[in-house]
Structure 1
Amino acid sequence: MKDYFSENCKYPPEYFHRQFRMRRELFLRILNDVKAYDDYFIQKRDAIDRLGLSFIQNMTTAICILVYGCATDHCDEYIKIGKSITIETLMTFCKVVVGVYGEEYMCPPNKANIARLLRELEEKGFLCMVGSIDCSHNDINVLDHSSVFNSIVTG
């Protein structure tokens, strides 16, 4: 909390971006959307009245695993969360993200989306960047997993 989320954070915003691969404002927006969708991420008391994990601990755990692809027990020391809870948190986070954002953001791009993205990219000086819509940049290692590439191949 003191490192990234308190009023006077230990680390500046650029450190947050480097750690979580997103701006703090985006992280907090996702956090609020996730909290509103599922009460799993709201801090509760357990059966013996101990305060459970905070929503920031839960989401930080899930984001770190997704961003870095690290093992579930990697979060033990820094975030203070055990492996079994980490797995549960990650699974719940992924389901909630699909529930919250799936319809709008997790669908293959249509012609209107592609045209809008190309206009926005052109305004920023990136011409003909269709290959980067799904972050593949036509890299042969990820082409096999590219929804855009699969759509083109299958017609």
Structure 2
Amino acid sequence: MEGERLTIKSHGPHNGGSVSGHAIIDRNIAKGRNQLYRDYFTEMPKYSLKKFLRRFYMRRFFFIQIQYAVENYDPYFVQRMDCSGPMGLSSIQKIAATMRMLAYGASRDYVDDHVRIGESTTIKSLRNFVNAISVIFC
């Protein structure tokens, strides 16, 4: 019975961070951020602007305009250090994950594998993004 109470308590409302009893997954978000940036956002990206348009259903210029608008509206999208010291997810990672879900109906697992963002962060990014877009552009 004691174990049952602990289980129930550990599944209550949670506002981020580690969940007691769950494995910590090192997603190497810095590697994911750098790869995403090299693939699409440098002066000489790995993939062409045409490929960017095909993957995100918008031009890169428009993506960046949305990124700036969303960052200015919602501080959730501004990159900051996480509680253990390293830099957290960038706005580009959060928005790219969200755009993949919206453009393709991509699953949270797909986003985790390709953009290196966990399930709960993906959902929070999606909610915050949709809210920001509806306020800024509607």
TM-score by length of 1: 0.64
How many percent identity over aligned positions? Answer: 37
List gaps (5 residues or longer) in structure 1: 103-155
1:83 aligns with 2:119: yes
1:41 aligns with 2:85: no
Superposed CA RMSD: 0.9
Report how far residue 47 of structure 1 moved: 1.4
Report how far residue 7 of structure 1 moved: 2.2
What does residue 56 of structure 2 align with? 20
Which one has the largest radius of gyration? 1
What does residue 101 of structure 2 align with? 65
- Aligned to 2:62, the other structure's residue is in SS state helix
**1:86-125 correspondence to structure 2 within 5 Å:** 86-102=122-138
- Aligned to 1:35, the other structure's residue is in SS state helix
For this pair of structures, how many residues does the alignment match? Answer: 102
Report how far residue 99 of structure 1 moved: 1.2
Contact 1:76 1:83 (C-alpha < 8 Å) held by counterparts? yes
Paired amino acid for 2:105:
G
TM-score by length of 2: 0.71
Paired amino acid for 1:30:
I
1:50 aligns with 2:94: no
- Aligned to 2:124, the other structure's residue is in SS state helix
Distance 1:47 1:22 in 2: 34
Report how far residue 3 of structure 1 moved: 0.6
Contact 1:73 1:86 (C-alpha < 8 Å) held by counterparts? no
Paired amino acid for 1:14:
K
Distance 1:13 1:46 in 2: 32
Distance 2:69 2:41 in 1: 17
Structure 1 stretches of 4+ with a deviation exceeding 6 A read: none
